[in-house]
A and B are shown apart, each in its own frame.
Chain A
């Protein structure tokens, strides 16, 4: 098992290295360079040339890639090109905000989705099953900003329960933070629950068709025990994968939610930086997102290995 896991981790690191190359090349390939972006329609040939020189954009690409990678390995993400602030200083609080909101949403969404999925599987074809299916399908089908606006209209403008702006600061205490970020959390929960819930239901039902479950039914076990004790452990691997995918989405895919609720996370930062061609910031965010994705996937893999005796004790 140890060999399997270390293999996975090594592959993950390799993927991360490849991702770093792709991130760097992708940013390079965008049309127009940072200097002309920064100046927009204030650009003249003279101040363009001056700015390019100042930013070091005149040096070859490979040199800049190596410099970037080696500095990053030492924990130095460099400084933002557009406002000269150290990236690590801005990255810290923003990454924390993003992880906080994702964690908040995950803590609610994952148990909720798994529980709903299991209940729906037990009551397959019943009213509850159908109702949950329709509601979750609806919430996954409409765009996030729509859900966000509807929640704002109902819970912030009509009934003033929660604030429209989730403008947290580093000094905001924990309870206040939970309150301020309630609406974005609820929006994100609605977006991710459907996927996880449907996967739970489908995998449990798939296992329910196998002969050993029929045996359990014939033995006269109650349905909930069959599902929770016998079916669920064998359905766990695909569920874990979907949960990991959705957790990653909660971290990297919430730009729209951040914009609607004015939440200072990493998404808005990366979008602004892309549009201003602030390469170091885009790359730093890209690397963090890649690392999150890869870590969560490795974690899902490892958990799937642990949960499966055949993988746990390979012959």
Chain B
């Protein structure tokens, strides 16, 4: 009865609700005694989330200079509020697969250049207006042209957005991109009414209706009684308080002033573990720190120097000391372990002082290698650089850490210094991440990685719709970066949230913390 064992395991793991467990055990002909043995121990997913209550979120990553305008989003609090008020075009589910949201279904021509989208019907905005093709087109075009949106670059791939009918739009791309749906799933692409500009009184189709917002302080929203999405938006009211200080955030959770927090301080996580009634939610993510070496700057243009640098970093120690173990080891390419296309054939690059020393001697490089580090790039960057300096010194690779001022780091150091600390928050699709930072003409090509053959391979991977072939291409892209690239990626960091026990449905998501920032419409409160 292996089916029965599977079913039992699923029930214990909480993958089923009670009703489907009973139905399926009946179908398998399980006896009452068998079923009775499982029931008390099973962790059933609740079939009927409780409706009501006020969800109080305490979130870091907000600033008094924030705005509700989706063009301006850069940090967590923007996203957490944005997904309460608005809906996206595409939702990326917790298995990193694209699922329909306001775009209900689509068709793509071979070559992945021409896309036709059917628009979800019967969706109304908070002011009662019915959503149409115009609204969708306006919301996409908001980020194109002269817009200062961070999506302006990625959306340059679009040649034209055309209305086919009230229910259909067509998007034509400049070049094929099989992962275009992931681009449309970006958190900036939220749908607002056609021509909308009054960001002080936002109107969307989302699960919660705007009540008040004070940038960098708090926002309040109330449940949208006419929400179109089934099985979402359970709580009556969401109060989002910006708590940027991580100790205060944690204290607020422990003392019961908020129900859920993001960005748990990894070094202080034991304090939360010892507090009663607090649960942690850990999600492996694509966020990674990077030591970016420009491959056209001497001595970094020498492959042996780069290899020496790659072997000279103690990844295990970086993970342990800087991230308290909440993460996974990186392999000098930007694709995280949870990605379906991560190259599993590449061996994990170890800390190997002998090899580092060998390559460094072979390169016969003179002088010290200077790394520009600043905590403006990511919190702990200077510590990481100092740690790197120490482990590299053991291998005879002389590294000098140059501490850069935090103010002006992104202007004066990033993309300019030959070897510098930086970070990426990760992208849902591997090809997105690679094309944004490793394509010859990418604006943010930190490592000056310009190879024609690499670009061709990337374009083949993007326009190929056959999964097996794509996988081959994407594997190869990672191997090239692993062997020759200028990026040293020691670790990938996990997302870490925490909530009080009454919060249910708060599941890990690899894209971002807080259920990919959609926590407000996903969770419910159990009394």
Contacts and interface: CB of A to CB of B under 8 A. Distances in A.
| A, B co-complexed | yes
Interface of A: 30-33, 36-47, 50-51, 54, 80, 82-85, 90, 149, 152-153, 156-157, 160, 163-165, 167, 169, 259-262, 264, 268-269, 272-273, 275-276, 278, 281
Contacts of A80: 65
Interface residues of B, number: 47
Contacts of A83: 65-67, 69, 72, 215
B412 A32 contact: yes
Interface of B: 58, 63-67, 69, 72, 74, 146-150, 152-153, 199-200, 214-218, 241-245, 247-248, 251-252, 254-258, 405, 407-408, 410-412, 414, 422, 443-444
Given A31-B405, A85-B200, A165 B248 contact: yes
A232 B318 CA distance: 61
A46 B216 CA distance: 28
Contact of B148 (A45, A51, A262, A273): A51
A89 to B, nearest CB: 10
B65 A152 contact: no
A32 B74 contact: no
B150 A42 contact: yes
A165 B407 contact: no
A163 B74 CA distance: 30
Contacts of B153: 42, 44, 47
A85 B252 CA distance: 29
A30 B412 CA distance: 12
B315 to A, nearest CB: 24
Contacts of A156: 251, 255
A269 B422 CA distance: 26
A167 B241 contact: yes
A40 B241 CA distance: 24
Contacts of B243: 165, 262
Q: For chain A, what secondary structure do more than half of its interface residues adopt (helix, strand, loop), or is it mixed?
A: helix
8 A-B pairs closest in CB distance:
A31-B408, A32-B411, A82-B65, A42-B150, A83-B67, A32-B408, A272-B64, A44-B443
A32 B407 contact: yes
Given A85-B215, A261-B248, A157 B255 contact: yes
A269 B443 CA distance: 32
A36 B245 CA distance: 25
A13 to B, nearest CB: 30
Given A38-B72, A261-B248, 8 more contacts: A31-B411, A36-B411, A47-B152, A82-B72, A167-B217, A167-B218, A260-B247, A262-B241
B5 to A, nearest CB: 45
Nearest to A86: B200
Nearest to A158: B255
A47 B145 CA distance: 9
Contacts of A32: 407-408, 410-412
Nearest to B245: A259
Contact of B257 (A38, A43, A84, A164): A164
B410 A164 contact: no
18 contacts: A31-B412, A41-B414, A42-B153, A44-B152, A47-B149, A51-B148, A82-B65, A83-B67, A83-B215, A259-B244, A262-B242, A262-B245, A262-B248, A262-B252, A268-B64, A269-B64, A269-B216, A278-B65
